[in-house]
Structure 1
Amino acid sequence: SSGLQAVAQAADAIRLGNADLMLAGGTESMSMVPMMGNKIAMAPSVFDNDHVAIAYGMGITAEKVAEEWKVSREDQDAFALASHQKAMAAIQNGDFKDEISPYEIVSHLPDLADGQRIITRNKIADTDEGPRPDSSAEGLAKLRPVFRNGQFGGTVTAGNSSQMSDGAGAVLLASEQAIKDYGLTPLARFVSFSVAGVRPEVMGIGPIAAIPKALKQAGLTQDQLDWIELNEAFAAQSLAVIRDCGLDPSKVNPLGGAIALGHPLGATGAIRTATLLH
């Protein structure tokens, strides 16, 4: 996401000597985006051409990934359930406390009884709202495919896809000199970053090409990785990447991912970076 790209650009600026301290991140308020006003009736012919179908949403690309990488509906639902279970366990253990900055929400609402008095309500936001403690395999199995159904045999549902969420995240990057000058204690060292292009109709499998490039630049091998944050845009895409790259599932998103925690598009990369740091 652009949040992760911002982190990479900040690191590049520091490595080039153009900056010493950079605050990089992203924000997204999907609840405020008017993207659901017009409902489009899909004609079956839309799905005949992948390059046309993908214009109607990333969900179609997830269906293509599930089809090409042979990711079953059952495996997608199981992955989604695990994401919720891991996220709930992390919240209960307080694993996100150090990376979340609580903030107060003040709401000013009219008193519906007389329409005159204004009621003020205060709420502290300090916990992710996405993870569902009541998620179950049975419940996920009952959900209908969102992007393909009926004769098209869809497998991607709202339950095994990432959630539309609001969120923000940021990280502070510093040069070695800045660390000394300001007495900072670094949480990690930025080593490498890579982007790779893939066919647009299967855009979610970009990490399959990007991960080897990033590892090569860093001089690392995959077995040296202990913790992997992989964005869960869709369970189908995540499983395709894990299987194709041969990633150890136990090392991928130990605290849950976007299916449970949400995917505020412009912020996700920075949020996942913050989770990795802590």
Structure 2
Amino acid sequence: IARIAWLSMGLPLEVAATTVDSQCGSSQQATSLGAAMVASGMEDVVMCCGVEMMTRVPLGSNMKDGVPMGESYMQHYQPTSQFMGAAMIAEEYQITRADVDAFGLKSQQNAIRAWEENRFEREIVPIEAPVLDDKGQPTGETRVIARDEGLRATTLESLAKLEPVPGQSIHTAGTSSQVSDGASVVI
């Protein structure tokens, strides 16, 4: 992604561009590596980017038949979903459903307040995106997206009423990340 984006902007062919695939942590990892390169004197200026394409990740109804990680991966690691991993962490550190709901509520409140105070105004670039039909296919229309669409006004009471993710008791749709796409860049 990095190399194609760099060259697509008409920037110099001689400048290196590297893609880091750390899933949700790609932006953070790219920024850490870029900062280390500047601190070490290897580079004077770096551009660090991250892209998240959750709509392309095999989740729920988007799952395809087959083994997503391959046989050799499965020989070394147990297939553990993010929900299973989160439940194991919650058990180890004695985090309760009430703790998760309270954290989720505070996170939503902080994000809503930040948007209301325009804290992200200089960091968000509005983009034109295709409008999709019920089957996820482009309709030929477009719309401008300029704000996080995952924010929800919520209460502890409404979070407490949500059913947990199947197979566990702590995480719900109200305290889980939404499925969304995004990208970031820092120089």
- Correspondence for 1:93: 117
- Correspondence for 1:136: 155
Give secondary structure in 1 for the equivalent of 2:94. Answer: coil
Give secondary structure in 1 for the equivalent of 2:101. Answer: helix
C-alpha distance in 2 between matches for 1:89 and 1:31: 27
Give 1:21-36 correspondences, 5 Å limit: 21-36=45-60
Structure 2, unmatched stretches of 5+, are 1-24, 66-76, 134-138
Instruction: Give CA-to-partner distance per residue, 1:22-59, whole Å, 9 cap, x none.
Output: 100200111123343259xxxxxxxxxxx74xx23021
C-alpha distance in 2 between matches for 1:107 and 1:63: 36
Native 8 Å contact 2:26 2:51 kept in 1? no
Identity percentage of aligned residues: 36
- Correspondence for 1:11: 35
C-alpha distance in 2 between matches for 1:121 and 1:87: 29
The alpha-carbon deviation at position 147 of structure 1 amounts to 4.8
More helix by share: 1
- Correspondence for 1:148: 167
Residue type at the aligned position of 2:143:
K
**TM-score, with normalisation over the residues of structure 2?**
0.68
Instruction: Give CA-to-partner distance per residue, 1:41-79, whole Å, 9 cap, x none.
Output: xxxxxxxxxx74xx2302112111211211111121111
Give secondary structure in 2 for the equivalent of 1:22. Answer: coil
Using a 3 Å threshold, how does the CA distance of structure 1 residues 95 and 19 change in structure 2: closer, same or farther? same
The alpha-carbon deviation at position 97 of structure 1 amounts to 0.5
Residue 78 (structure 1) aligned with residue 102 (structure 2): yes
Give 1:143-182 correspondences, 5 Å limit: 143-149=162-168, 154-172=169-187
The alpha-carbon deviation at position 122 of structure 1 amounts to 3.5
**TM-score, with normalisation over the residues of structure 1?**
0.47
- Correspondence for 1:126: 146
Residue in structure 2 matching 1:65, options 89, 93, 106: 89
C-alpha distance in 1 between matches for 2:50 and 2:29: 9
Instruction: Give CA-to-partner distance per residue, 1:112-171, whole Å, 9 cap, x none.
Output: xxxxxxx753422111111102x122221122221534xxxx212222222222110110
Give secondary structure in 2 for the equivalent of 1:56. Answer: coil
Choose 1 or 2 for highest CA Rg. 1
C-alpha distance in 1 between matches for 2:111 and 2:53: 21
Residue type at the aligned position of 2:147:
T
Number of corresponding residues: 146
C-alpha distance in 2 between matches for 1:121 and 1:26: 27
**Backbone CA RMSD of aligned residues:** 2.5
Structure 1, unmatched stretches of 5+, are 40-50, 110-118, 173-278
Residue type at the aligned position of 1:22:
V
